[in-house]
Amino acid sequence: MASIDGILIVNKPARITSREAVDAACKRLRTKEIGHCGTLDPLATGVLVLVVGRARRLQDLLSRSRKVYLATLRLGGRSETDDAEGPITWVDPEPMAPSEETVRRIAAQFVGEIEQRPPSYSAIKLQGKRLYELARAGTKVDAPARKARVFELEVLEYDFPRVRTRIACAGGTYVRSIARDLGENLGIGGFLESLCRIESSGFDLSRALAPEVVDGSHLLPIEEALPLYPRIDIAAAQVRRLANGAAVHCELPPLRLDQDEQLFGWVNGRAVAWLKRSGVRQVRSNRLLVTPEELQALAEEELSTQDAMAARARPQ
């Protein structure tokens, strides 16, 4: 049976886990080689990027990529899970509503690189166990604060006790923690009431399908996940060196020091390798995205095309 490779964009409904969405896709495609790129809690809905077969080689990268959410925050209460799922303790008496100016000012403080304490009910491991496992067993442990990156936090609408927001952030950022901390900074508590991911890894909600309808015809090529990353065209004559892990010569973009650099090598219109710099105007493969045999075939196709074009250009 031929391998199944590519990317699926799923619209995860509420009340199922990301794992259950993956399991549904596994049944539809009849393969176990599927992973997801960024967990959505059962409360949340929206874009869940699935990587199938060899596309799983990009799973870590796509999990860290930019995500965009529509989030409704509820003020005036505190939740054990930092969202509407957990036991909630309401502030009593009901607090005075902060002004819209104050809410917007406090919200703006979360933009940039921030220190964030993950929710007690999260999948982070501590002492060999998931935090949610410890919490459910009655052991409350605060995970160490970690850095998160928020690119935008826009207050779309404020009607106390609710704050509708649009949040763009890097993967690994907990919107539940933002809701909790915004409420604490306002002095009245807060938690996440609803969440919809409208974009992930460059794929938006308009392209997402229900888990129960996806099939192999909906698979997208790996290349569709890479338009935001620098493309390095590898000469056909150098593919053997690339496949063997040796350094190859190429034209490189200027080095960006303000962000993680991810480079991808292309041959004959296909993304073939995740690259790393290896000196001045040199790269080597960090991870191949195709087999060495496929890489050689792409190089031969490119050389054949070049020969045909040269032949047509010669005077008759």
| Buried residues in 139-149 as b, exposed as e (16+ CB within 10 A) | eeeebeeeebb
The contacts of residue 56 (CB under 8 Å, 6+ apart) are 33, 34, 35
Q: Which of 5, 23, 41, 307 is catalytic?
A: 41
Phi, psi at 259, each rounded to 5°: -155, 165
Report the C-alpha gap between 131 and 213 in whole angstroms: 33
Report the C-alpha gap between 234 and 272 in whole angstroms: 9
Angle at which helices 100-108 and 175-185 cross, to 10°:
130
| CA proximity to 76, closest of 171, 175, 159 | 159
Active site residue 41: yes
Residue pair 205/46 in contact by the 8 Å Cβ criterion: yes
- Omega before residue 315 within 30° of 0, cis: no
Query: Residue 175: is it exposed, middle or buried by C-beta count within 10 angstroms (0-12/13-18/19+)?
Result: buried
Report the C-alpha gap between 279 and 261 in whole angstroms: 15
Q: Which residues are catalytic?
A: 41
